[in-house]
Amino acid sequence: MKARNSTQNLDGSGAMFDVIADRYDLLNRLTSFGRDRVWRRETAIKLEAPTRILDLATGTGDLAIELAQRYPDAHVTGLDPSARMLKFARAKTSGLALEDRITYVEGDAQALPFKDAEFDAVSMAFGIRNVRDRAAALKEIVRVARVGAKIAILELTEPRGRGVSLLARFHVHCIVPLLGALISGPQQYAYLSRSIAAFPSPQAFVTFAAESGLRLLELQAFSFGACHLFLLTPSAAGSA
């Protein structure tokens, strides 16, 4: 494993997540007060009984497992750039006897190793903000998704607007950075914290996704805007 203070690990790459893989689940639970499980469940529900699902940025497999358990006729392919995260995902999957229904692949969302129109649903939880070329990743999603596929992207976002409570902002700007630094290390978490602040507003991301060939079906905010679920589908132009 690469050294924890290596600057090359602080870029959202698979190498960075290799470093924090053993603490990733705890980090998610504590910084979201356990709400990340609810957010993933809502994400899975939106996909509406697909049979071939691609879960990008699958990490330690939480969403892939949720999808496999919710849709017993589906096969889930989980892709992630971090080998260590996938090691934990495979261990979880084996413990639940889901190995025949979930396949894990180490890979890059910007260059997917799959055929055109191979999946009838695509999910991605807490991953799109870490992709360097988001347009390339979204266009790859359009390529591998069949016409009419549901695409659910769940992402942490900066609470914005006058209606946002002071508690939500205090949580994002004070509690999350403190817990993150304690659990994952100050350098790694500094990147994660910055990536949330730098992510586009929900409306800006919807516009960006449209430019990459994805049409918005539904936008759902969680926890006063600390997280958003984007339900999309390939546009006519994007799927042509």
pLDDT in tens, 170-214: 666 666 666 666 666 666 566 666 777 789 999 999 999 999 999
Instruction: With respect to residue 239, please indicate whether it lies within any of the assigned structural domains.
Output: no
The pLDDT value given to residue 28: 78
10 pLDDT more than 60: no
User: What residue numbers bound the domain in which 192 lies?
Assistant: 7-234
Instruction: With respect to residue 2, please indicate whether it lies within any of the assigned structural domains.
Output: no
The pLDDT value given to residue 169: 64
Instruction: With respect to residue 27, please indicate whether it lies within any of the assigned structural domains.
Output: yes
Instruction: With respect to residue 1, please indicate whether it lies within any of the assigned structural domains.
Output: no
The pLDDT value given to residue 78: 98
Instruction: With respect to residue 240, please indicate whether it lies within any of the assigned structural domains.
Output: no
Helices (H), the chain: 14-20, 24-31, 35-46, 62-70, 83-95, 134-144, 166-170, 176-184, 186-198, 202-211
For 42-65, what is the mean pLDDT?
97
37 pLDDT more than 60: yes
The pLDDT value given to residue 224: 79
- pTM for the model: 0.87
| More confident call, 229 vs 34 | 229
| More confident call, 199 vs 26 | 199
pLDDT band per the 50, 70, 90 thresholds, residue 9: very low
Q: What is the CATH number of the domain that holds 208?
A: 3.40.50.150
* Interval 122-155: pLDDT, tens: 999 999 999 999 999 999 999 999 999 999 999 9
Instruction: With respect to residue 208, please indicate whether it lies within any of the assigned structural domains.
Output: yes
CB half-sphere exposure, 222, CA atoms < 13 A = 20
The pLDDT value given to residue 198: 85
Instruction: With respect to residue 223, please indicate whether it lies within any of the assigned structural domains.
Output: yes
pLDDT band per the 50, 70, 90 thresholds, residue 23: confident
Query: Is-contact 204 178, C-beta < 8 A?
Result: no
CA distance 74 to 51: 4
For 52-70, what is the mean pLDDT?
97
For 6-17, what is the mean pLDDT?
56
Q: Out of 10-14, 212-216, 224-228, which region has the weakest mean confidence (pLDDT)?
A: 10-14
User: What residues contact residue 157 under an 8 Å CB cut-off, 6+ apart?
Assistant: 196, 199, 201, 202, 225, 226, 227, 228
Total structural domains in the chain?
A: 1
For 53-75, what is the mean pLDDT?
97
* Interval 80-133: pLDDT, tens: 999 999 999 999 999 999 999 999 999 999 999 999 999 999 999 999 999 999
pLDDT band per the 50, 70, 90 thresholds, residue 2: very low
